[in-house]
Structure 1
Amino acid sequence: MISIYLTAILKAKKESVQDLKSILDNMVLNTRKEKACEKYELQQSLDDESVFIFHEIWKSKEGLDAHNQQSYIKEFVEKAPSLLEKPAEIYLAKLV
């Protein structure tokens, strides 16, 4: 099994920065408890406070798939269109 490395870049609408940050903070709190989660870091851009970046490491694709079925992730996916300027940019990778 190979670890999955994920980077997600999110750009909030200017009026939604705090609402989005609250949801993302909740995701961090809950996701770090997941068995398959090795790393789940949320960063906020110094240049543009509306930009958030996740750096994640998952033990397996199955673990990432299970993460995406959690209620707090589904809640984010449901609310994202009203909070984000554009869809999240998601990059999946592996070590080479």
Structure 2
Amino acid sequence: MNIHVVAVFKFNENYLMEAVELFQTLVRETRKEEGCLQYDLIEDKDNKGTFFMVELWESEDHLNRHNGQDHLLDFRRDVSKMLESSTMVYKGFKTL
């Protein structure tokens, strides 16, 4: 069963250019992963510094493997100092 993920990031405005560069690497590498069906970065049009990562994975196992990938671990380490607040992550299965 496919699993959907939405992660919400709120960055300090001083780090937006750096954050986008880190996202570019993360998105490029993640899209190569087995089981990744969608991995899109969306910037909130009304709230500067707020981004949504919209993900669709073939299975929860694929998502779990993704969570251990070096490019994701590197991203988490590098953005931690740039975030204005904790990242919110929502996971679920399509119901309708």
The two structures have a TM-score, normalised by structure 2, of: 0.93
Please tell me the residue identity of whatever aligns with 1:9.
V
Unaligned runs of 5+ residues in structure 1 are none
CA distance in 2, matches of 1:35, 1:66: 9
Question: Aligned pair count?
Answer: 95
- Runs of 4+ in structure 1 deviating by more than 2 angstroms, as ranges, are none
- SS for the counterpart of 1:53 is strand
Cα RMSD for the two superposed structures: 0.9
Please tell me the residue identity of whatever aligns with 1:94.
F
- SS for the counterpart of 2:21 is helix
The two structures have a TM-score, normalised by structure 1, of: 0.93
Unaligned runs of 5+ residues in structure 2 are none
Report the equivalent of 2:85.
86
CA distance in 1, matches of 2:17, 2:23: 10
Percent of residue pairs identical: 25
